Chain A
């Protein structure tokens, strides 16, 4: 399960950026096409934050939905998985959204 490694990367990045400040809240963006399961990250979060400055912090996860633009006909469309074709039948699409995997913001005690 790579979500454990993903969650550890979140903790590591937040600790590097925020130093010793106790963290109250972490807000992540995990796109629906990112290959990362948000519920699994939630499951791992409490385990991985134990004993760190993030212990007890709340976790918010924003999940942008997938959007793509067809390179053949130019249409923009939503997609819930990577196998969806454009209505014109083309698989040649550029993903515009849905692959996000980032730390948007953190809230720390002053």
Chain B
């Protein structure tokens, strides 16, 4: 649309040589710029998706299983990783990519278990993306036929949109957060290949309706597998280990 006179029409407008068929007169002092409309039909996240495919190929060539762990802050991702590495690290040769806005606290916790870890600080960013993971993998240099666990930024919204090139996505919720999480954040649960319900040792002390949680998860992602466990006590942890082993290349 012409910002001066408001006329509209074809996308290529001559410099007002169009004889004013559109039924009004222009003053002499302006002209329409010539423009061209280009159809792109391009995914907004095409660049990230392309980088994610490169990561996926890089991982597959090395026989590395990469799992993207996503949750709200405080759901127990790092505690789950610590236990998994202590009990399974030698068998699976686990290394970790840690994503947080600030600090290297989580990477320090992981290194204390003996596993290699690289910390990615996203600054104001609320999620990891494929380029960040590529950088993390270059630094980490995980061995062939190993497992890379990616702890995404604690956030139940943004990480769901960004493919990293991982083979599987795991969403973790703790019973202290409330059973309505799948209904409030269906995008995240829809993106999950596995849902872990953590801190089940606290169920006697909190008002958490497990059936309601499972129904919410089913609505957001029909057929998604849900495992209940406590990363602190180890109750139910074997289901998680079995799931991981079953996905090894």
Which residues of A does B touch, CB under 8 Å? 1-2, 5-6, 9-10, 12-14, 17-18, 24-25, 28, 35-36, 81-83, 85, 90-93, 101-110
Report 29 cross-chain contacts, Cβ distance below 8 Å, ordered by A residue.
A1-B126, A5-B129, A9-B47, A13-B40, A14-B40, A17-B40, A25-B37, A35-B157, A35-B161, A35-B187, A82-B190, A82-B219, A83-B216, A83-B219, A83-B220, A93-B222, A102-B40, A102-B42, A103-B41, A103-B42, A104-B39, A104-B40, A104-B41, A105-B37, A105-B41, A106-B40, A107-B35, A110-B33, A110-B35
Task: List B contacts of A2 (CB < 8 A).
Answer: 126-127, 157-158, 161-162
Q: Does B34 contact A (CB under 8 A)?
A: yes
Q: How far is the CA of A28 from the CA of B42 in the complex (A)?
A: 10
Q: How far is the CA of A2 from the CA of B122 in the complex (A)?
A: 12
Residue of B nearest to A105 (CB): B39
Task: List B contacts of A107 (CB < 8 A).
Answer: 11, 35-38
**List of 4 A-B pairs having minimum Cβ-Cβ separation, nearest first:** A2-B158, A82-B186, A35-B187, A91-B222
- Are B43's CB and A91's CB within 8 A? no
Chain B: minimal CB distance from A39 (Å): 15
Extra inter-chain contacts (5) besides given A13-B47, A18-B38, A81-B186, CB under 8 Å:
A91-B219, A105-B38, A105-B40, A106-B37, A108-B35
Task: List B contacts of A18 (CB < 8 A).
Answer: 38
Q: How far is the CA of A11 from the CA of B127 in the complex (A)?
A: 19
Chain B: minimal CB distance from A19 (Å): 11
From residue 144 to 171 of chain B, which have CB atoms closer than 8 A to chain A?
Answer: 157-158, 160-162
- Are B222's CB and A92's CB within 8 A? yes
- Are A5's CB and B125's CB within 8 A? yes
Residue of A nearest to B12 (CB): A110
Q: Does B46 contact A (CB under 8 A)?
A: yes
Known contacts A92-B223, A107-B35, A108-B36; A10/B44 CB under 8 A: yes
Task: List A contacts of B127 (CB < 8 A).
Answer: 2, 5
Q: How far is the CA of A109 from the CA of B37 in the complex (A)?
A: 9
Chain B: minimal CB distance from A12 (Å): 6
Task: List B contacts of A110 (CB < 8 A).
Answer: 12, 33-36
Chain A: minimal CB distance from B214 (Å): 12
Q: How far is the CA of A6 from the CA of B129 in the complex (A)?
A: 11
Chain A: minimal CB distance from B179 (Å): 14
Chain B: minimal CB distance from A9 (Å): 5
Residue of A nearest to B45 (CB): A9
Residue of A nearest to B38 (CB): A106
Task: List A contacts of B39 (CB < 8 A).
Answer: 104-105
Residue of B nearest to A35 (CB): B187
Residue of A nearest to B124 (CB): A4
Q: Does B218 contact A (CB under 8 A)?
A: yes
Known contacts A24-B33, A107-B35; A9/B48 CB under 8 A: yes
